[in-house]
Amino acid sequence: MNEQAKRTPNTLTAAQIAEILPHRYPFALIDRIVDYEPGEWAEGRKCVTMNEPFFQGHFPGEPVMPGVLIIEALAQTGAVAILSLPENRGKIALFGGIKSARFKEMVTPGDVLTLKCEIIDRKGPVGIGRAEARVDGKLACRAELTFAVAERKEA
């Protein structure tokens, strides 16, 4: 049996994710983290429902999750990986760039997005994540995301 199979997954509920990420409704886009390795990778889930506010206008009669929100959900998944490091607790991960984004399948109400982001490079506060979103095993989106970890400003 390999090491991955013996390992107990690190999981996070929506409430635990909210302790790591500053995002709140309607921009908290991850329902659960099913496993992660701090500083390395994270896998999350987004249950897409007709109750999402963006479906009111995107598109009436033919609801499709906007690609930019799929990218945001992937970025939040990667942010959990990087911000779960003890030295990054209480900080924020900001977008630095999106490269090679490709959308392959529409995401509609009733879908469950499987979100994965692997941190592939990091120099100081700047890093790159390789991310992909799938529905029922089919690739919906892939992208390379650049981020910068910064201190949160006081409200």
Q: Catalytic residue positions?
A: 58
Residue 57 near residue 127, CB atoms below 8 Å:
no
For residues 141 and 134, give the distance between their C-alpha atoms in angstroms, rounded to a whole number: 7
Phi/psi region, residue 39 (left: phi>0; alpha: psi -120 to 50; beta: rest), is left
Contact 107, 65 (CB under 8 A): yes
Could you give the C-alpha distances from 32 to 11, 73, 132, in angstroms and in order?
A: 8, 11, 16
